[in-house]
Structure 1
Amino acid sequence: MKRLTSLMLIALMLMLAACRGGEPSSASSGGTKDGKESDPIKIGTLFPLTGELALLGEESFRGVKLAVEEFNNNGGLNGRKVELVVGDAVDSDAAQAEANRLINQANITTIVGSYSSGVAFAGSEVAERNGVLYWELGAVADDITGRNYRSILRINPMASMLSVVHINFIKEVVAEKLGKDISDLKVVIAHEDSSYGTTIADEAIKLAKEEGINIVSVLPYGASSNDLSSVVLNIKKAEPDVLISVAYINDAILLSKQMKELDVEVPVIVGSGAGHTTSDFKDAVGEENAEGIFDIAYPQYHINKEFTPGMDKFIELYQEKYNGHPKSGHSLASYMGMKVVLDVITQTGGDVDPEKLHETALDYKVERGTTATGWGVEFDPDTGQNMLAEYYVHQWIDGKLVTVYPEEVALEEPKINE
């Protein structure tokens, strides 16, 4: 009898072992290194949600959350939901620590980020060392994808593309509006002196030289400065037709206020990126002082909606969740970028193995004018940079940031006082 009982127990154990053996256990099935097909698809996020960068870091993260919530509300991937595992990267040191936590403690195999170039550099370095795929949705420094890492894919445009739009806009629009030959224009560049501002300034100088545009003065400064009067006085001395300003939000506000205080006027002011795009800039300097200022940046919301299908849906989702209009185009860029990430994951059937995702992403193609930002998608196989992402020119008109260039996205003609 005892022998019969023992045989029955052994048979039962073998049956249970066989059942367990049929369960998946690899990273490719669950979103983490030990996931299962029934588990949520886990994706790590790395954004500055507190500290000095939190204003647009949080705004960028909101776009990611909205894309994921929309995906989950539409049924997820065959019923599987996406779960975000959040990292707060206030600076590059925190980015390194949080990336290590996500990868080595939370077992995350794909990460999205990060708005800040410093955060992106540090986080992607950790990802590269650990064989984890890093999707950049907002940071712009050229060297992020210039390192030719296999671990990074960037969906948004890089910083040097801002300079391309600067020079093209000056050449194709500003010179004609001012009634001058481009060789007669005087251009000043005032830029914050981190890698962000320096990259844009250096590229603009190079491109201007090629086009015969005269850069009469280049004025670097620290973004944390509380007095830019010396920069303003040097602008006044140069008497430029065009001021290219490369600034974050606080120095953009300070520069504008001190130009007003010191009675410095420039016919055409063209900002670059976040500094001049937010409603906070307009509110801080006053609608009258913001009027007429151009800014080259991510897509904003007064734009040709036929070229940006899905933007109205994003605005609706944002307003419903956050009880207000989006603060800048950063949330829109992250929303569009995260939808690309989710599309690629869908194409792999939920497989988040880094190599599989990378291979699938390189085959993923989207035409311009078919996304909420208007960007297309085609990744450079060597760098991981999306070659179809682009910046547009906007102008503060009657308290709104209106898209004015290029023509396919413009709602109004650029307004320049000759």
Structure 2
Amino acid sequence: MTITNMRGSSVRRRTTQISTVLAAGMILAGCGGADGGADGQGGEESGPIEIAAFYPTSGSLALLGEESWRGANIAAQQINEAGGIDGRQVKLVQADVPDVNAATSEARRLLDSEGLDLAIGTYSSSLALAASEVYARGGGTYAELGAISEEFNDRGYENVWRTNPPAGTFAQTQIDFISDFVAPELGLGLDEVKVLLVHEDSSYGSSVARSTETVAAEAGITNISYAPYSAESTDLSSTVLGIEQEDPDVVIAVSYASDAILLARQMQENGVVVPAFIGTGGGHTLSGFGETLGEAANYVFNVDFTQYAVNPESTPGLEDFLALYKEEYNEDPASGHSLANFMGANVIFDILAETGGDTSPEAFGEAAAAYTIEQGTTATGWGVKFNENGQNTEAAPYVMQWRDGTLETVYPEMVGTIEPELATSGQ
């Protein structure tokens, strides 16, 4: 029996175990001849391959945490329906981690007490930093599928990996978009463009702000000011007043779910319009942002993981993922976080296929270092190639724009569905 690989050619595995392909177009099952047991460190080879899965499914981060978990969960279900890895089922041991303390304690429990030496997660940078710290120091392996903090891969840990793009690539995409579209459209030179960074003040927002400042300076954009705020705020009127007083050409916003909606609503209520309001993933991606705000969401840009109104030729398998999601949860995805985690989980499963299900840091690290996928051959459009710090260098965010209730992809042109437009005071 043959399988279809990432590039569509028919191949036969080196062993007698048969693998199959999920809708994302990846090889998702494994090679035989593994020594590892249920936990990757010995035991019954027929037992499940257990992987810790850290996601905030309660508390203030639950919206995108749940959405992220759903993507990884669908990937696990599909590989199990296809026969698992080397004939063994994948079991994601989910841990709800609503805050940093929970992420730390749950990581210790699942690594030290339960012996799960491979973990995935989390969507939130603060949580990812906490859980991965425990795994890295405790001799386990941690693979992040959604958090973007630059610090995550800059701590010198050998067994920390990330499949999604980091904050620096978000910043680069934002600055490229300003350079290629916004500044010319406004008739301004880059040194004339006035940028205001409005960001929540956790590691997520602060990391993006620092990266943006660096990338902007390299491009010649130096007129930048800052407006940090707490994501827990219930009133952002002072932030809105600051935006009005600064009168920027561009706002680059970094927000979670509720604060993204609150900021946009209070800007509308006060008649504050910015020509280019550019979100950075987070709450500006959620379908609830468009549904809750209605026309107030129109013309808001967002730089984020791959969303669903995108050129299908660049994202093979995306439509199949949508069907799988709808079948499992009886609704459409709330954001691209589920897709990113689906893709990332499948990368992890594919690496485990190369280890024969061995989750030990040594086996996983060797297989991950050699693992590559070409861009444009997965449902996110991303490729995979890990650098010396464990960061995937073949993943990049795109620019989307809310238009009549749909988050349309507008940049780069090869993945776009419509042309971008700036907001005006008359809209």
Same fold (TM over 0.5): yes
Provide the residue aligned with 2:365 in structure 1: 358
The answer on whether the counterparts of 2:192 and 2:223 sit within 8 Å (CA) in structure 1 is: no
C-alpha distance in 2, partners of 1:129/1:187? 40
Partner residue of 1:263?
271
Q: TM-score, normalised by structure 1?
A: 0.90
Q: Which has the larger radius of gyration?
A: 1
| Counterparts of 2:105 and 2:416, CA distance in 1 | 42
CA distance in 2, matches of 1:111, 1:417: 43
The equivalent residue for 1:65 is 73
Distance in 2 separating the partners of 1:83 and 1:159: 30
1:59 to partner: Cα distance = 0.9
Structure 2 match to 1:192:
200
Note if 1:227 corresponds to 2:215.
Answer: no
SS at match of 2:384: coil
> Structure 2: which 5+ runs fail to align?
1-33
SS of equivalent residue, structure 1 residue 87: strand
8 Å Cα contact 1:379/1:386 also seen in 2: yes
| 1:195-274 correspondence to structure 2 within 5 Å | 195-274=203-282
CA distances 1:277-325 after superposition (whole Å, capped 9, x unpaired): 111111222x211011100011000001111111111111100000010
Distance 1:211 1:333 in 2: 29
2:7 maps to which residue? none
Q: Does 1:300 align with 2:307?
A: yes
Residue 169 of structure 1: how far off its partner (Å)? 0.4
Q: Secondary structure at the match of 1:135?
A: strand
Q: Give the stretch that moved more between structures: 159-168 or 209-218.
A: 209-218
Structure with larger RCO (C-alpha < 8 A, sep 6+): 2
Deviations 1:221-274 (A, max 9, x none): 111112222221121122222111111111111111111111111111111111
Percent identity over the alignment is 46
From 55, 60, 63, give the equivalent of 1:55.
63
Given that residues 27 and 352 in structure 1 are in contact (C-alpha distance below 8 angstroms), is that contact kept between their aligned partners in structure 2?
no
Structure-1 residue corresponding to 2:51: 43
| C-alpha RMSD over aligned residues | 1.5
The reply on whether 1:141 has 2:149 as its aligned counterpart is yes
Contact kept, 8 Å, 2:86 with 2:353, in 1: the verdict is no
| Partners of 2:48 and 2:224 in 1: CA distance | 57
Distance 2:204 2:112 in 1: 30
Q: SS at 1:223's partner residue? A: coil
Match of 2:3 in 1: none
Letter matched to residue 271 of structure 1: G
Shift of 1:385: 0.7
Q: Secondary structure at the match of 1:213?
A: coil
CA separation of 1:146 and 1:373: change in aligned 2, threshold 3 A: same
Deviation, structure 1 residue 216 = 4.6
Q: Which has the higher helix share?
A: 1
387, 398, 420: which one pairs with 1:414?
Answer: 420
- Tell me if structure 2 keeps the 8 A contact 1:33–1:107: no
How far did 1:32 drift?
A: 4.6
Whole-angstrom CA distance in 1 between matches of 2:190 and 2:264: 26
For residues 417 and 277 of structure 1, what CA distance do their matches in structure 2 show? Answer: 18
Partner Cα distance (1:289, 1:406) in 2? 24
State TM-score, norm by structure 2: 0.88
Provide structure 1 residue ranges, at least 5 long, that are not aligned to the other structure.
1-25
**Matched residues in 2 for 1:129 and 1:254: separation?**
39
Look up the SS of the partner of 2:260 in the other structure.
helix
Counterpart check, 1:322 vs 2:329: yes
Asked if structure 2 preserves the Cα contact closer than 8 Å seen for 1:148 and 1:384, the reply is no
Measure, in 1, the Cα distance between the counterparts of 2:387 and 2:175. 24
What amino acid sits opposite 1:272 in the alignment? T
User: Is the Cα–Cα contact under 8 Å of residues 275 and 423 in structure 2 kept in the other structure?
Assistant: yes
Asked whether the equivalents of residues 161 and 391 of structure 2 are also in contact (C-alpha less than 8 Å), the reply is yes
Alpha-carbon distance in 2 for matches of 1:142, 1:78: 35
Distance 1:263 1:77 in 2: 56
Give distance in 1, aligned partners of 2:265 and 2:379. Answer: 34
1:121-152 C-alpha deviation (Å, 9 max, x unpaired): 11111111221111110111111111020121
Q: Size of the alignment, in residue pairs?
A: 391
Partner of 1:3: none
The equivalent of 2:25 in structure 1 is none
Change (3 A) 1:217 1:77: closer
Counterpart CA distance in 2 for 1:177 and 1:258 is 26
Distance in 2, Cα, partners of 1:126 & 1:263: 47
- Offset, 1:98: 1.0
Conserved 8 A contact 2:258-2:283: yes
Aligned counterpart, 2:351:
344
Deviation at 1:34, TM superposition (A): 4.2
Question: Is it true that 1:399 corresponds to 2:405 in the alignment?
Answer: yes
The Cα shift of 1:27 comes to 7.5
Residue 389 of structure 1, aligned match among 395, 410, 413: 395
